[in-house]
Structure 1
Amino acid sequence: MAAQFGLRLRKGAATTALAAAAVAALAASQAPGVTTDSAGRQTTGSPSPDASPQADDAASDSRYYTDLPPLDSPTPTPGTGDSSGTTAAGELGIPATVLDAYKKAEASLRESKPGCNLPWQLLAAIGKVESGQASGGRVDADGTTYTKILGPVLNGGEFANISDTDNGAYDGDSTYDRAVGPMQFIPSTWEWAGRDGNSDGAKDPNNIYDAALAAGHYLCRFDWDLSNDGNLRSAILSYNNSTAYYNTVISWLESYRRGSHEIPDGTGSLPETPSGNGNNGNNNGNGRGGPTTSPSPTPPKTEKPGTDKPGGDKPGTDKPGGGSTTPPTPPPTTPPPPTPTDTVHHLEDAGTADLTATAGDTFAGKITARTETEAGKAVAKVRVRFTIVGDTDTTFTGGESVATMVTNSSGTATAPALVAGEKTGDVTIRVTVVGRSVAALDYTATVTARQADALARTTTTALTCVPGGEFAEQVEVKATNKGEVADKVAVKATLIKSVLDPTANDKGPYFKDADGKPVRALTALETDENGLLKLPKLYADDTVGTFLLRIEAEGGGIITVELKVEAAAESASPSPSA
């Protein structure tokens, strides 16, 4: 489908404000633990970061749009010339390519993480709040935005202080980070959360297919079941830890669930009201710490250069009544007080237990690290990131390679349990402080091969054969380790010369390779999920005698099986007649 352009304008501010107030009250009434005042405004603040396992926020402390969905009303909007009563419903249209990306991400997560129950409408709600559905669907046929969608500079002013982590590769800023793309990922988060949603071999935060799939995996990363209201709330707050943000996303989610439709790319409406400390009068919430009220008339506001968002006002153009264009003198500013993260000087091990596990098992020990000041004092409420590095299939519980936890009152953060993969050897887990450049702390976890300390034949039948023939029964063994079934254990089988000489024999019984040639040593064998292994058929050459088959398992289990090759017994001759 060719992209179509010509963005349409939003309806009047009065209608938007009315809808916003009503839907805000509805959203707040549905949110767990959120109450409203007599005007329907939120009266609770954001939950504590310690309330749930917080990961590195995809767009934490970044500007988002607080515009709420319109009320579904049969009454046409005054002045629109629309007598059908469908104007409000038209605000729920989603650009075709963007909608396709959301639905494809849902389908992918349904296969890879079916227990998450991710609805595409949740991705649409977050995409609406984060970027107005990729700036109204301004994407090419492959789903890449025509221009980059960037959040504000995270330089510690109005928003968080996140020094550059990508050398400007994603956001074009080599000093500070900025949220990037239609789903607004911080570059350091994209490095581990990014996905290739359109199978083009790249992970691009500016591509709606890649960004939507990444957002889906991000929301599902803690094995949350999003059909559960509590899990859904935790997932949304992990994306942006703000009750106002949660309420806005929930409002759009419920609206999209009630009904939405596809519209041409490039024709979506753009949101107008960003979160932050300012308020342009279109709703009552500032998207952060709860409702705000503006004096009347609204005084001019001073914008920082470069903070314009798609659809927002330009700096200095919102003066009431078209007043003087001379910018006001900005008030003196004082540096913000240091955050707990700012006081962290180093990381220390906090008593991590032994990190050794057999392939496929969960490590008994967990990694614990403590954030400390230069004086060695513990620092609480700091985000600590645990990253599994290198080529390994070892993961944290839930299948992820990165987990971000918040330090407790003792300054300690504990990583989720490690699950050993099938690749054996040492695995490095790196611990860093989110938003603070301090020396990383590396841990080494060791994955050992699956083991069996005993092997036993499953039958007691004697194994015999005539010269040049084949043995009637295939040898089958069962592996155990400490009395328990030993599954997926590496095994090798060798037709040896003798008990004292375990090298491969050059005569007697043999297996056949893929070309039908004799082979007397087999490797790369493995027991099944029940600990069983059935060897290939055995054949005999023309050598008679007793031969030995040695079967060895990783972990020390050994069994030696006797094979006999002997000529067939001759039938007795009849006695001559008397």
Structure 2
Amino acid sequence: MAAQFGRRLRRGATSGAIVAAAVAALAASQGPGAIPPPTDNLSGDSAIGAGDATEPAGGIGDGSATGDSPYYTDLPPLNTPNRPGALPTAPQVPIVTGPAEAGIPATVLAAYRRAEASVRASDPSCNLPWQLLAGIGKVESGQARGGRVDGNGTTLSPILGPVLNGVGFANISDTDDGAFDGDATHDRAVGPMQFIPSTWATWGQDANGDGKKDPNNIYDAAQAAGMYLCAGGRNLAIKADLDRAILSYNRSTEYLTTVLSWFEYYGRGTHTVPDGTGLLPVDRSDRPAPGRPLRPTEPGSPSPTPAPERPSPRPTPSPTVPSKPAEPTKPPVTEPSRPPVAKPVEVPPTLRVSRLKAGTAVLTTVTESAFAEAATVTAVDASGRPVAGVSVRFELPATTDARFPAGATTVTVTTGADGVAEAPALRAGEKAEPFTVRATVPGRSLPAAELKATVEVRKAGALARVGDADLTAAPGASYADVTVEARLDGALAAGVTVTAVVTDAEDSAEQSADGPSFGKDAAGNPIRTKVLKTDDRGRVSIKDLVAGEKAGSYVLLLTAPGGGTAKLTLTVSAPATTPPASPDPTGSPDPAPTADPSPTASGSASASPTASPSPSA
């Protein structure tokens, strides 16, 4: 039966008409039995078709996405999955059950559907079906190890292929310095879609908008795989292009057959299972197991009915007393065991939640302080009952400088048994303003729960000078340092903003035009207003206060939020007066000659009695 089933699968997988028709049908219908394709921000950050959904320059080259790393060789079961049709969008509707092999973990399936929608938006001619991504994800990592991913789609631990050192595999020297695979000597395939680092460097995507291209994130990896398969203008509805796309992922005809088998199987129907509960594959291409059956017997299968015992032969007749022939032994009647009844698959918490209820805590604090209350929301289903295990993302607006621990602006936490998700301690920055914390469910388009928060300024009801030294200085001289203490309700007030202004009088709040200053600005203008902040002891020190050129009395006005006020008198002393210097005789010019009134002078002017008479006389 197993051999017959394997031949049937290979025949179906290699039939060009069947596969091409399947791809065309999936392209038109989005596939039966699957969750409706996302039309909004599944990852919480990027719209469908946005981001890196464009083909890199250079195409796919001559290598393969995985470096031809090993893969799982398990084949689908013989039984066909249920074909229930598309699921309703309401999360409270029970999810359809079916064969375990047809179950795909919720987050992994969401990533495949999102990748299909994103690639169809950027490259509709490729006709990428998400079932092809599911087939590759199955053989590469068992659907991310059965869906062991967190709420953002990142694997709980890295998925690494063997070291590609040429021993049984390709020899690929390190290309990423160990950044993705942790090996600085050789490369290894990484993540749920098993990209080697050199391929990821070209094709890596950021599908969940977290600012990182992470091969261990199923959203990023699925979109990168979709882009890679569509490279070179391929149309996956054409059998030749489909084969080339799969072989470009791993150049092995056995790989092609296995992927196509799962692709065809998922095309007939799937259902969702909770993250972490997917069926794990067993057989791998690098671990052959001769003699091991294709698939172990499922537990609970009917036991075969034992063959009836043959009747014992007739005894040899005794010559004396003939005995009756022994009656044939009746075969035991064993009723075949009933096939196990499929248990209904529990709806994942992320799909059961109907809305988020904002907590009632009052989020208020002062600048540069922690909020006393935490931001909380409660996840409830359609009937109002709490839902545990739901991932909730808390996000701060870009306008605030408040932060979660480690400076984070977004954090993701999981609801507890009571359905409550509590964000880590939130700390305010220097801005005093109201803002809103938004809480959402990653992967769902539910309305965000909004929590109002307020940051107020620190206050001081009283300001008082420490010390009483006289504040007098000559023009251009510096004043002694001034220390002021701030208090609120009698307690020292740290971190309070204190504004200091030099005014002309106690009853004025206007800045003086001639009084002392706190130095000069870059343009050479005096600074007469300064904003200070009290230290952890509630004190502020005022330094570098310089007297102006104009003598007189001025006021240093100090104010703080909360009503604290102080007024300090500043005196600019008048310059000392200097008496004028006396004249220097040696340096003075000789006085001008004057008429001599002495008798001698007058006598010399009269006629001498001894003088001879002039001839005229």
Normalised by the length of structure 1, the TM-score is 0.49
